[in-house]
Amino acid sequence: MSTTNNAIRGGEFLIRETAAQDVFIPEEWNEEQLMIKQMTMEFVEKRIIPNIEAIDNQEEGLVPKLMEESGELGLLGSSVPEDYGGMGLDFKSTMLITEAIGGAHAFSVSFSAHTGIGTLPILYYGNEAQKEKWIPGLASGALKGCYCLTEPGAGSDANSGRTKATLSDDGEHYIINGQKMWITNGGFADVMIVFAKIDDDDNLTAFIVDGHSEGISKNPEEKKMGIKGSSTRQIFFNDVKVPKENLLYERQKGFKIAVNILNIGRIKLGGAVLGAAKDALTETVKYANERNQFGRPISKYGAIRYKLAESAIRIYTCEAATYRATQNIDDAISGLKTSGMEHGEATLKGIADFAPECAMMKVLGSEMLDYVVDEAVQIHGGMGYSAETRAERAYRDARINRIFEGTNEINRMLTVDMILKKAMKGEMDLMGPAMAVAQELTGIPDFGVAPTDTFEAHLGYVRNLKKAILMVAGSAAQKLMMTLAKEQEILMGIADMTIWLYTLESTVLRVQKLAGMRDDVSLQTEIMKVYAYESAEWIHSAGKETLLAFADGDELKMMLMGLKRFCKTEDFNTKEARQRIAQHLIDKNEYHF
């Protein structure tokens, strides 16, 4: 990738240090960005939440109408250039809108599917005529989009799809036959991105299909655990005629489109779940302050405070990691544009370079939200299990996020696979640092003098935890070689270690940068300290289990000793820290960081 400076590349966080001034933190949003966020949140508060029952009951025409209203505010076209009727915002600002819409329950799914997988394939891969024809309508909400990739026999293995396209005798149309399932917005989409194999091709091709074409039929709406207000249909294509000029990009390049659009969807999901989690925790804090048991609010009790504080810690740290990765992507896009690349291509390449981080944020965010909504139900008690509360809906709605955009298991394995492939292509040097760690294991430990500065101490933890991951991953790659790709438990263990490390480093850098902007960052420092203590324990546990899966003898003993050393942190009273974090939430009566 050609950039104008020595900017960090995707995956390089494992082998390079990042300075606090080089990361974006959410405390840096400018006034215009915050106004856009506020506008979006007001739309959710005034138009979505009061209609949430009607949305979940799929009242005829309601979601399409609300989509059009959001289009009138410019929200559907946030990533669309102004030439095509959009707002032309940078990637980071579009993420902020995604976060702000995240508390809209099922509507956020309809919105995200339209603005992401329903619009971006045409925006980034369409020719000029295709963009002029479809994008303005998608940006305004006059047209609604959907994405038809998954089939009954083709889920995670998307390229195995059996939907077929053949050129008509007159050469003017492709005739599509096949079946798609789990199609979000399928019940009302005007524009469909449909993936099919032309004749006996090995790989998919993408087509832009008019959603009202003759030959398209649909099953009734799926009955789902959650996101009930999101239209989800099976769609059947029976001799559907698609003008040949609606072939998107190039023949057999559909899988490339699918992969790159999924990268965007993964990190955008990381933004959406932030909004949902903040909303859920705020509702929970309010309930804990209002609900009295044994003569006082339940927010006075330590067990409840633990849950509130831990939820806030996971939200804050996930937010730090998500917007760090988002800014890295923005910087990569800017660098590529500066070198002369067209905006759409630069966007795709910039995001593709950070595909490991996109996969990590999808896993981190979806599991963070699951924790927050699960504890929300627990704090609400019996009321949390009642459909009268939003806690019950939030719990059900959250579960799909670990399946959307590739399952979390797939994304964990992809994280490790993509970083290793970067190393094999010579895009980053993993071998050198891994060998340096291996040599360090056989040497005499240099414990040195512990830093007195809190941030330097925590950056020291980060450096050592990177060594732990390089040791485990390097040893696994060396010992297992070509069979590593089949060792899913080992890959997922390494992925977890990597995700926690990235999140911890992002949090330390966020708080360190914030300390240069504000006088009092005591509560944020408490969050950082608790997460450092927790994540080091998690990384040690996952590393040990992973090493035991493939190593033995003296080599295993040596690496276990090294792992323990690399994962060491100073003892810390997490209970008191959580008490202070929880008290802040209780006093503010909301998530307030």
Residue 552 has a pLDDT of: 95
CA distances from 471 to 418, 435, 476, 556 (A): 18, 8, 8, 11
The stretch 141-151 carries a mean pLDDT of 96
Instruction: Render pLDDT for 201-217 as a digit per residue (tens, 0 to 9).
Output: 999 999 999 999 999 99
Question: Distance between CA 209 and CA 240 in Å, rounded?
Answer: 9
Catalytic residue among 151, 283, 392, 405: 405
Instruction: Render pLDDT for 60-106 as a digit per residue (tens, 0 to 9).
Output: 999 999 999 999 999 999 999 999 999 999 999 999 999 999 999 99
Question: Distance between CA 32 and CA 96 in Å, rounded?
Answer: 12
Q: What is the DSSP letter of 395?
A: H
Q: What is the pTM (predicted TM-score) of this model?
A: 0.95
Is residue 405 part of the annotated active site? The answer reads yes
CB 420 within 8 A of CB 430: yes
Residue 343 has a pLDDT of: 86
CB 376 within 8 A of CB 384: yes
pLDDT band (50, 70, 90) for residue 319: very high
pLDDT band (50, 70, 90) for residue 448: low
The stretch 572-579 carries a mean pLDDT of 97
Residue 3 has a pLDDT of: 38
What the chain holds in terms of domains, given with CATH numbers, is: 12-17+255-410 (1.20.140.10), 146-252 (2.40.110.10), 430-588 (1.20.140.10)
Average pLDDT of the chain is: 95
Q: Which two three-digit tokens encode residue 406?
A: 């590739």
Q: Which two three-digit tokens encode residue 571?
A: 């003892």
Exposure letters 145-158 (e unless 16+ CB within 10 A, then b): bbbbbbbeebbeeb
